[in-house]
Each structure stands twice: as structure tokens, then as C-alpha cells.
Amino acid sequence: MVGGSVPVFDEIILSTALLNQVISFDDVSGTLVCQAGCVLEQLSRHVEERGFVMPLDLGAKGSCHIGGNVATNAGGLRFLRYGSLHGTVLGLEVVLADGTVLNCLTSLRKDNTGYDLKQLFIGSEGTLGVITAVSILCPPKPKAVSVAFLGCPSFAEVLRTFCTCKGMLGEILSAFEFMDAECMQLVGRHLHLARPVQESPFYVLIETSGSHAGHDAEKLGSFLEHALGSGLVTDGTLATDQRRVKMLWALRERITEALSLDGYVYKYDLSLPAERLYDLVDSLRARLGPRAKHVVGYGHLGDGNLHLNVTAEAFSEPLLAALEPHVYEWTAAHRGSVSAEHGVGFKKRDALGYSKPPAALRLMCQLKALLDPKGILNPYKTLPTWA
């Protein structure tokens, strides 16, 4: 997404792929301890067989490693329910730049013994140390999972659907994702996935996860009745069996793939106040006109996270100049973040100043100098070029 793991000049690549063992699983607390090279989907299977789920899920689950997930503080599709890895990771083992093995692989829920050092490495993108093992808290596997896929007449209705749904579904709401009509056209055109509801300007995917199928069905039923009756949504479909649940999720999860088949993709991953989340997409469409093939907005609305993507036949400097710094300035003016969940990497490091004050950037540089004085750990990444 941001070139965080892409070697650019003179780097040596370390692979943790052979560190792929589960070390332990405690089926009372749900704590999984594993090596960094374990693939997320395999871990999911491992804990699901024991009645738990990984607190993290994302489209790349079949290939991404848990060590990379933690190093980049990946957000994903379960964030709304289980929160950030800053909360679910209990401990880490990290190799420091001088070769010290920092064993903070604790599995304690509570540990208030001074600085919480593991937090420094979560989201540091390998610039402060190499994560080699992870201890992570897995919640119990929900007994009932349902997905509703709905069409909304405008973004205002998407927002109202979200508010209504939080009120009516409460503790069983586990995801609230949205996509615009252009996203749906692209997954249809490039991946041949069929639209499951009538054509609409916006679509939302709502997932509920609970411990009692009957209770969840009743709540979801009255929410859908209300949403359809009051015109918040114009059409909808509901899935409770695993195959259809997966099929509906694929429409949302595979947008990235569809975009990459459309041409060169300019990608932005922004945190914005939910009520202004789509304004930038509309204004960019007008600003770019026919220079862009598609300007699309989708993402984790429940987390205030917009994925703004622009496709074009090929990379072009003038198009980039029309996008940047405009997108970042707009985001800063709305007190948003220029990277919600994709990190900073190589591509966004000079945009950091739009979301962090100078004193915070200076402290980041001081931490880097302290932990990696020779600058050998993932150089050229995360920190601004001037650092």
C-alpha cells in the first residue's frame, strides 16, 4: 500500500517466513503465542478449531504474516468490534538493531510496570526492531454471524443507517463497511462478481456477530424492517449461511483487486470525521474530470476510515500533482489522518507533517536514533526524508 516492505536502494531483505510455529494457545484466556512468520489465515483456523477467532481479519489473510500485521499495525475488517492491535497484542519478542533479543512476550492482560515497550514496535514498520514472536488475545468465536448487504440512496442515508444500526444492533454489530457505485461496477467488470441488490449510489455491508442466533436474527430483522420502511435503504439481502456470508464479504474485500486490474492506482487511506468522509471523493471527481478513469470511495465507515482510490491508464506526474498535496491539505484541514491503517512506508513519509506536529516528528526521530543509531532497520521508511 505504501511501500513499507519494498526495498528501494541498498537494503538487505530479512525473511521471517520460516518462523512459522504456533508456540502455545491458552484456551481459558484465549491467548495465542506464535512466531512472526505464521500466516494470518492459518492462525485463524488454529484458533477457530479451539472456539476462538483472531481479533484481526483482512483481505490479504491468505498470505500476510502476523509479524507484518503487528509491525504495520494493520487495521482490517474486525477493528470496529475488537479494536486495534495496540489493544489486542499482549506481548512481543523483538530483535533490536544491536542484536539484543528483547523478550517482552508476556501473556498478561494487565501489566503496569512502567513503559509499555511493545507499543513502540506496533506500527513502527520494522524501523525500530524486528518482531520475531507475538502474543495476542483472541476473543471467543461468535456462534452466529450474519451479513446484510444494503443499497442506500445517498451518503447521508449511509450515515443515518450507521447511526440507526449502532442504536438498534448495539453489542452484536461487528462491521459496518461502505462502498460507492463505481466500486460495485469495478468488481462486476473485472472480477465478474454479481451485484446482489438493485443498483444504488452507495452500498453498505453490515455484519453482526453474537452468541445467540435467535436473538441476533430478531434484532437484525427489526433493524432491516425499520431501515427499509423509513427509506434509509432501498434494497437489501441477508445472509446467515457461511457460503453466502463469504460471497457478500467478497464484494467488499476484493475491491482492491478490482482496482488494480483497472489501471494505475493512486491510493489514499484517510481517517476523517464520518460526516465529511465522502465529500473529498465528490470534490476530487470534479477536480480531476476526465484525467482520472475512476475516483472511488469505500472503506471502514464504522472506524471513520475512507479508502480513496483514483485509477488512470498509467502513472502521470500532472495527475499526481493534482492529487498531492491537495488530498493531504484537505485531510489536515478536517483534522484527519493521512494514514488511517496502511501506515507510512516509503510513499507517505513526507506527508506525516500533515497529521503530526513538529515536536512529535522530532521525538520519533530521537527514538529512531536511540534504537537504531546506524539506521540499518528498514531504512528510508516511516520517518520524513529530512530526518
Q: Which residues bind ligand MLT (CB under 6 A)?
A: 59, 255-256, 267, 307
Compute the distance between CA of residue 18 and CA of residue 36 in angstroms, rounded to an integer: 9
Collapsing DSSP to helix, strand or coil, 64 comes out as coil
The DSSP secondary structure of 71-125, one letter per residue, reads HTT---TTHHHH--HHHHEEEEEEE-TTS-EEEE----S---SS--THHHHTTST
Strands 144-152 and 202-210: antiparallel
C-beta of 226 vs 267, nearer to ligand MLT:
267
Strand ordering across the sheet containing 101-104 = 22-26, 31-35, 130-137, 89-95, 101-104
Largest CA distance in the chain: 63
Compute the distance between CA of residue 256 and CA of residue 246 in angstroms, rounded to an integer: 16
Angle between helices 279-288 and 326-333 (to 10 degrees): 150
Compute the distance between CA of residue 2 and CA of residue 342 in angstroms, rounded to an integer: 7
C-beta of 267 vs 276, nearer to ligand MLT:
267
Residue closest to ligand MLT (Cβ): 256
C-beta of 129 vs 343, nearer to ligand MLT:
343
C-beta of 196 vs 302, nearer to ligand MLT:
302
Least distance between ligand MLT and beta carbon 205 (Å): 11
Sign of the alpha-carbon torsion through 316, 321, 324, 275:
negative
Least distance between ligand MLT and beta carbon 299 (Å): 6
Least distance between ligand MLT and beta carbon 59 (Å): 5
Which among 282, 250, 108 is positioned nearest to 184, based on CA atoms? 250
Which among 131, 115, 10, 143 is positioned nearest to 66, based on CA atoms? 131
C-beta of 97 vs 205, nearer to ligand MLT:
205
> What are the cell numbers at 224?
432491516
Least distance between ligand MLT and beta carbon 377 (Å): 25
Least distance between ligand MLT and beta carbon 384 (Å): 23
C-beta of 59 vs 353, nearer to ligand MLT:
59
C-beta of 179 vs 319, nearer to ligand MLT:
179
Least distance between ligand MLT and beta carbon 293 (Å): 16
C-beta of 258 vs 377, nearer to ligand MLT:
258
C-beta of 2 vs 97, nearer to ligand MLT:
2
Rounded to 5 degrees, what are φ and ψ at 358? -55, -35
Compute the distance between CA of residue 133 and CA of residue 258 in angstroms, rounded to an integer: 33
Which among 169, 160, 281 is positioned nearest to 232, based on CA atoms? 160
Collapsing DSSP to helix, strand or coil, 281 comes out as helix
C-beta of 128 vs 284, nearer to ligand MLT:
284
Least distance between ligand MLT and beta carbon 206 (Å): 16
Rounded to 5 degrees, what are φ and ψ at 216? -65, -40
